[in-house]
Structure 1
Amino acid sequence: MAGARFIVQADGGSRGNPGPAGYGAVVLDARTGEILAEAAEYIGRATNNVAEYKGLIAGLKAARELDPDAPVLVEMDSKLVVEQMSGRWKIKHPDMQPLAAEARGIAGRGKVEYQWIPREKNKEADRLANEAMDAGRQGRQWEPRAARAAAPAPAMDEPLPAAPAPRVGWAGPADLGTPTTLVLLRHGETPLTPLRQFSGSTGSDPGLSEKGVWQAERTAEALAARGTVQAVVSSPMLRTRQTAEAVARRLGLDVRIEEGLRELDFGAWEGLTFAEVMERHPEDLTAFFGSAKAKPTGSAESLTTLAHRAGQARDRILARYPGRTVLVVSHVSPIKTLVRLALGAPPDAVHRMELSVASLCAVQYYSDGNASLRLLNDTSHLR
């Protein structure tokens, strides 16, 4: 194909991350947009990132079979793969390194460039990846459309194979059964954070600062490399939604909003520094630190009230995602409260915990009601 130029669009997915996974890729004529080749495959149990890399490899192979010397523009909605293959991000995860090396080896003599595109512009590759995963769920491999048209349809009453049990990233004692793991992420920095101003659920609802966006992206990169998060749940506040969306985009997941994860209502303290509250409302502040039933000035909530709604939110998440690893993006007070409840510690224990912005905690919950704190205030991913 003399003078050919190709666009490779590739995608991969995992229903569980890790879970049943597949990839899809198309090769397009760069001039006409015509689809020249398709590839897809069910690859068994894998993470989103592994599936995305395998989609890239399949797309490059298909392009090179058409013309080994043609320039190729790779378009993917995985920022991780695009940035790593462009050489701007390091490839630290051992599962990704050989896949990236294989993709580079396929490039051959032709020039290959990488470009991120939004998911809605990667529909063909996404469709193929989902077709491959659907085929795997039915106990078969994906076939091109021409081959499927000639093949008899499977019996509708044929039983489907059972889905494999989800893997848990922070492993607990096996004899207690598969736990549900909540990875608790405090949102990134906002403009109020460096000023140490109270920022609850009834104030200005600030978004992330520039540094906060960076923290969210670094956290997303770290969690994507770990490859264990299977669902993302967030407080409705803007700062938590922005943090959760950064991670969810990287993992190829949706964000589910849970109202019970919102921050405490700080009433008249909203937007004030600790020193300003001490000056204006000294008795209320002293009472707040002395009793879990005391409320900030003008607020309808106490730490006792917060513990009740945060506990209910936790129970809803556990019921919805049994045996899975869930990223829960919330705030200082709810996260400290969930940690306290997991430990069975007294209410005033929340005042004795440090919880940095964009820090990670992890708690595992077992079917017999026991809980185990696995991680507290981890910020290693930000260094």
Structure 2
Amino acid sequence: MARTLIVEADGGSRGNPGPAGYGAVVLDPETGEALAEAAEFLGTATNNVAEYKGLVAGLRAAHALDPEADIRVRMDSKLVVEQMSGRWKIKHPDMKPLAAEARSVFPPDRVSYEWIPRAQNKHADRLANEAMDAGKSGKQWEPRDSRAALDTAAPVRSPAARAADASAEAADEAAEAPSAGWGPDLGPPATFVLLRHGETALTPEKRFSGSGGTDPELSAAGRRQAEATAAALAARGTIQAVVSSPLRRCRETAEAVAARLGLEVRIEEGLRETDFGAWEGLTFAEVRERYPEDLDAWLASAKAEPTGGGESFAAVARRVAVARDKLLARYAGRTVLLVTHVTPVKTLVRLALGAPPEALFRMELSAASLSAVAYYSDGNASVRLLNETAHLR
């Protein structure tokens, strides 16, 4: 099971732009112990640059401690958290290389981002201020000078200085935040309507059925579900293309819908289900009985593989993200039906929400259910539907 580390980071600029510095601390999530600290005076820079620099430094400090760790980043910069989570587009050219540098330290699926109030980020804030104070004296911050772990209260600053910081940060976030309400027209999004295939003989028994098993066909119930879904989607009249996983149960479901809509089915390999290795065809209880340690590891970490060399959820997420981007390029501004499986559907929803890997275990997805995600030209995504089954009743 991978170790988890917490990275808290902050940055500041006395003038925005002005004398700037960052601070970062790596914490043990169980004890709260500070395992590593980093801080640096940057010269003249903006708040945003300092915050991103702090993030990079914190991630690098965590990587030096354990390059295989899972990372939870906590920052009081909504801008950085939203951009690194993929919910806000990075517009400013100075931010793009810094964000890319941050993403290069750990695989993105091993890093989650959480916004916290400034009062909960005192350690990193104190380090950033120590770095700026050192720079004011013509020096660089040294670890031996750190008092952040002993005194995490931020230095007392005048009301005018605090107001200036708050105003600058609000202006920065407003400039980068996605437009809402009466914002500019971004044009029609690419909308992926996500259809889980109909039932197979394995579905009612809740058996693992991935891409490494027997590739079962739809059952009689599954064929009825496919026809009911086809009728419902034909009545809506919005689907412009149909793309399917290569596995038989998806192809059969997709063909039923495509025939009703007068469309062809395109196959996308990246939409196949997880390879569950030696667990294929087994129930959860059977896996628990035969492979308890492997199952515990799989439930605890997205990087763990099923017994026998199956796919980890982290590997599936990378594969699905590649398929998503390819399909977005092909179907910009169109509404496309993707006929796929439990894990790819949940992964697309999770990535759109910027949710951590454990969110996969917190979503219900019924056979032949419909979900939908809209992808906008500014890089944002919106989950519009999840596990809708009214068409089957």
> How would you bin the TM-score normalised by the shorter chain?
0.5 to 0.7
Q: Does 1:341 align with 2:371?
A: no
**Structure 1 unaligned residues grouped into runs of 5+:** 1-171
Tell me which amino acid in the other structure corresponds to 2:354. G
Instruction: Name the SS for the 1:182 alignment partner.
Output: strand
Tell me the amino acid that sits aligned with residue 253 of structure 2.
Answer: T
What residue is the counterpart of 1:153 in the other structure? none
Q: Counterpart of 1:175 in 2: which secondary structure?
A: coil
User: Alignment partner of 2:282: what SS?
Assistant: coil
Q: Offset of 1:292 from its aligned partner? A: 0.4
Q: Which residue of 2 aligns with 1:110?
A: none
Paired residue type of 1:303: F
Could you tell me which amino acid in structure 2 is paired with residue 296 of structure 1? P
Distance in 2, matches of 1:176 and 1:282, equals 50
**How far 1:173 sits from its partner (Å)?**
8.4
What whole-Å deviation, never above 9, does each CA across 1:23-75 have from its counterpart, x for those lacking one? Answer: xxxxxxxxxxxxxxxxxxxxxxxxxxxxxxxxxxxxxxxxxxxxxxxxxxxxx
CA displacement, residues 222-250 of structure 1 (integer Å, 9 cap, x when unaligned): 00000000000000000000000000000
The one of 304, 307, 326 aligned to 2:317:
307
Query: Within 5 Å, which residues of 2 pair with 1:359-370?
Result: 359-370=369-380
Give the aligned partner of residue 208 of structure 2.
Answer: 198
Residue 161 of structure 1 is matched in structure 2 by none
Q: In structure 2, do the counterparts of structure 1 residues 187 and 173 end up closer, same or farther at CA, with 3 Å as the change threshold? A: farther
Runs of 4+ in 1 over 4 A off after TM superposition: none
Partner of 2:281: 271
User: Secondary structure, in 3 states, of the residue corresponding to 1:377?
Assistant: strand
TM-score (norm 1): 0.55
Residue equivalent to 1:236: 246
SS in 2 for 1:177: coil
Amino acid at match of 1:347: P
Is residue 379 from structure 1 mapped to residue 382 from structure 2 by the alignment? Answer: no
2:241–2:263: 8 Å Cα contact kept in structure 1?
yes
2:68 — aligned with what? Answer: none
Distance 1:368 1:247 in 2: 31
SS in 1 for 2:258: helix
- Percent identity at matched positions? 72
How far residue 368 of structure 1 moved from its aligned partner, in angstroms, is: 1.1
| Aligned residue pairs, count | 212
After superposition, the C-alpha distances for 1:164-220 in whole angstroms (9 at most, x for unaligned) are: xxxxxxxx9883321000000000000001111100001000000000000000000
Aligned pair partner of 1:297 in 307, 317, 332: 307
Task: State the AA in 1 paired with 2:313.
Answer: L
What is the Cα-based RMSD across aligned positions, in Å? 1.3
Quote the residue 1:220 is aligned against: 230
Gaps of 5+ in 2: 1-181
Q: Deviations over 1:98-140 (max 9, x none)?
A: xxxxxxxxxxxxxxxxxxxxxxxxxxxxxxxxxxxxxxxxxxx
Shift of 1:299: 2.4
**Structure 2-normalised TM-score?**
0.53
Equivalent residue number for residue 297 of structure 2: 287
Residue number among 231, 245, 264 corresponding to 1:254 in the alignment: 264
CA–CA distance in structure 2, aligned partners of residues 357 and 333 of structure 1: 12
In structure 2, give the amino acid aligned to 1:269.
Answer: W
Does 2:221 align with 1:211? Answer: yes
C-alpha distance in 2 between matches for 1:226 and 1:296:
40
Task: Determine the structure 2 residue equivalent to 1:47.
Answer: none
